[in-house]
Amino acid sequence: MLSKLSFKIKKTSFMSICLGAMFISSSCVPFVPIVKAQAQEKITSVNGIEISDEKREIAKTILQEVLQQIPPQQHEEYVDRYLTETEVVYGLAVEDGLDKNDLFEKRIDLMRKRLLLDMYLEKKTAEKVTDEEIKKVYENQVLAQSGNGEEVRARHVLLKTKEEAIDVMEKAKAGDDFADLAKEFSTGPSGAQGGDLGYFTAERMVKPFSDAAFAMKAGDISEPVQTQFGWHVIKVEDRRKVEPPSLESLKDQISTYLEQQARAQLLSHVLQNADIKREAAAKAE
């Protein structure tokens, strides 16, 4: 309840989603090798069709989301399975005339457009992901949240009125167990855990709460502190120094974050300038 939003990044790939949908059978079934291969071997052809290194790399791009879910030592074997399955079943589908199916053509047309969309966004947003921008995000969103390199572990009791807070504070300073007081009197969600908020940096909490907590020593109990949530009585359990993660360790995540942000902004811009017509959807009977 007290915490501000923290810096979170999630990697998403337009290409893997779009192309993965074209070969959904390959990515959704359990991993069972189709061909028993010896160590260090790789498939070079299937039914006379060459499996080049370039084709393998393209397959890895398509399967990147799937490959993240399996051990690295199984990646090559999974790519072999994917390419083998694709070429074998493709031949059977063509023999069946499915490549002339109208629905197939429509699906391919949509997938082609989505792939081109992905390539266009990659090209236009690549310039946004610079070392300078990565460093700026790191400083503004990672280092800023690490504060002065110190964390506090605290408990608190949240109450509705100052009078109630004073009463709890006096009980705590008289020797009553703070965790028991939180369980009995706190109106906050941490009350059931004895008011325990765990470790936090100053920037993760609302300012009046942080100012009070970081001005205290371990074992101290605060005077009542007012925030927009109510009145708090705080007990600091511990203080410790922390080192923020390095820029190098977060570089790939921040790069992905900037890429996603640039894509979203570009998409929003082009859609605003598009001629889009709408009509009321038919009501379900």
Q: 131-142 pLDDT, tens per residue? A: 999 999 988 888
Tell me how far apart the alpha carbons of residues 20 and 34 are, in angstroms, rounded to a whole number. 19
Strands 196-200 and 150-159: antiparallel
pLDDT at residue 203, rounded to an integer: 83
pLDDT at residue 216, rounded to an integer: 96
Tell me, what amino acid is at 13?
Answer: S
Q: Which two tokens stand for residue 223?
A: 């005077």
pLDDT at residue 285, rounded to an integer: 60
Residue 231's DSSP bridge partners are: 159, 226
Domain with CATH 3.10.50.40 in the chain: 148-241
Helix axes 178-185, 162-173, angle to 10 degrees: 150
Q: With CA atoms as reference, report the closest residue to 33 among 77, 84, 90, 87.
A: 77
Q: 210: buried, middle or exposed (CB in 10 Å: 19+, 13-18, 0-12)?
A: buried
- The answer to whether residues 179 and 172 touch, using CB atoms and an 8 Å cutoff, is no
pLDDT at residue 20, rounded to an integer: 43
pLDDT at residue 116, rounded to an integer: 94
Per-residue exposure over 154-189, b if at least 16 CB sit within 10 Å of its own CB, e if not: bbbbbbeeeebbebbbebbeeeeebbebbbebbebe
- The answer to whether residues 196 and 179 touch, using CB atoms and an 8 Å cutoff, is yes
CATH architecture designation of domain 148-241: Roll (3.10)
pLDDT, tens digit, for every residue of 35-94? 444 446 788 999 999 999 999 999 998 898 899 888 999 999 999 999 999 999 999 999
Give pLDDT < 50 ranges for the chain.
1, 3-39
Name the region of 82 (left: φ>0; alpha: ψ -120 to 50; beta: rest).
alpha
Those residues whose C-beta lies under 8 Å from the C-beta of residue 249, and which sit 6 or more positions away, are none
- The answer to whether residues 167 and 215 touch, using CB atoms and an 8 Å cutoff, is no
Helix axes 102-125, 247-272, angle to 10 degrees: 120
Q: With CA atoms as reference, report the closest residue to 146 among 214, 199, 215, 203.
A: 203
